[in-house]
């Protein structure tokens, strides 16, 4: 049975500080949007008029170069949100967002979202905290891409993504091609590096998740560069 909009909003860290009595009316303002795998949800450059909360499924935030090459900025799953930047600065969307699986979103319109910010300092503070976290993560990613080899980049990415969950597991489904697009490497190189991590017992990979068996070994790889 699918979760109700209220239950979805309860699991979103951004809204965790809102009392249930206030969250229920906000849930009623959301609209469900379903997208098939591969669907374009948002396009870079288009006006931003809504915030999206992921109820189920997985999306990728991407930039596409003039040559068609795709760079994945992040992969988001249930409980995450996107589209907030355009609602705050009135600028066009800064990236494409594409459904990586069948995805259910809750859409919250600009007017309703901004009204909640004005009436709830807790939400405004939560949003600033999340934006700060994402900026720090972006800085960290840029540093990793510039200063580390492929093995170091993969180890850094796995640690960062696991940290967003329980510290040892990544439940988002990530193909080697996706990982390659996230760290700026070829799929073949990523496949070889991942195979080494598996055979040496550092990680375990299944169809559903990636488990970090030896996080300290990954940190050592990161430190080596």
- Listed as own residue / partner, the contacts of 76-79 with beta carbons closer than 8 Å and 24 or more positions apart are 77/171, 77/172, 78/8, 78/11, 78/54, 79/11, 79/12, 79/13, 79/54
CB burial class (10 A; 0-12, 13-18, 19+) of residue 199? exposed
Query: What predicted TM-score, i.e. pTM, was given to this entire model?
Result: 0.81
Reported as a single tens digit per residue, the pLDDT across 125-162 is: 877 887 888 888 777 777 777 778 999 999 999 999 99
Q: At what angle do helices 150-163 and 215-224 cross, to 10 degrees?
A: 140
Residue partners of 99: CB distance under 8 A and separation at least 6: 35, 36, 37, 38, 39, 41, 57, 58, 59
Domains 5-137 and 149-224 share a fold: no
Percent of the chain with pLDDT over 90: 48
Domain boundaries of the chain, sorted by first residue? 5-137, 149-224
Instruction: Give the per-residue pLDDT at 58.
Output: 95
Indicate whether 202 pLDDT > 80: yes
Which of the given ranges, 45-54, 76-85, 95-104, has the highest pLDDT on average? 95-104
Band of pLDDT at residue 90, cut at 50, 70 and 90 = confident
Q: Under CATH, to which class is 5-137 assigned?
A: mainly beta
pLDDT range class, residue 1, cuts 50, 70, 90: low
- On the question of pLDDT at 2 being above 70, the answer is no
Mean pLDDT of 66-73: 82
Which of 67-81, 101-115, 200-214 tops mean pLDDT?
Answer: 200-214
Residue-wise pLDDT for 31-57, tens only, equals 999 999 999 999 998 988 888 999 999
**CATH number of 149-224, picked from 3.40.30.10, 3.40.190.10, 1.10.10.10, 3.40.50.1700:** 1.10.10.10
Of residues 81 and 199, the one with the higher pLDDT is 199
54 torsion bin: left (phi>0), alpha (psi -120 to 50), beta (else): beta
Of 119 and 169, the one with more pLDDT? 169
H-run or E-run covering 62 = strand 59-64
Q: How far apart are CA 153 and CA 180, in angstroms?
A: 10
Residue 96 has a pLDDT of: 94
Q: Residue 171 has what pLDDT?
A: 92
Q: What is the pLDDT of residue 157?
A: 94
């Amino acid at each position: 049975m699918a979760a109700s909009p209220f239950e979805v909003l309860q699991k979103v860290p951004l809204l965790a500080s809102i009392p249930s009595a206030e969250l229920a009316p906000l849930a009623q303002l959301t609209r469900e949007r379903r997208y098939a795998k591969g669907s374009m949800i948002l396009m870079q450059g288009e006006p931003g008029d809504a915030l999206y909360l992921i109820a189920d499924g997985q999306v990728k935030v991407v930039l596409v170069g003039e040559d068609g090459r795709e760079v994945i900025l992040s992969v988001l799953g249930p409980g995450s949100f996107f589209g907030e930047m355009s609602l705050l600065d009135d600028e066009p969307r800064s990236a494409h967002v594409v459904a990586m699986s069948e995805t259910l979103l809750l859409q919250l319109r600009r007017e309703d979202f901004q009204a909640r910010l004005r009436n709830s300092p807790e939400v405004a503070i939560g949003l600033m905290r999340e934006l700060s976290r994402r900026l720090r993560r972006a800085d960290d990613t840029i540093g990793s891409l510039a200063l580390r080899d492929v093995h170091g980049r993969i180890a850094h990415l796995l640690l960062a993504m696991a940290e967003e969950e329980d510290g040892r597991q990544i439940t988002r489904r990530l193909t080697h091609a996706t990982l390659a697009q996230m760290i700026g490497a070829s799929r073949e190189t990523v496949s070889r590096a991942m195979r080494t991590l598996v055979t040496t017992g550092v990680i375990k990979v299944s169809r559903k998740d990636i488990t970090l068996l030896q996080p300290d070994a990954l940190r050592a790889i990161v430190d080596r560069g």
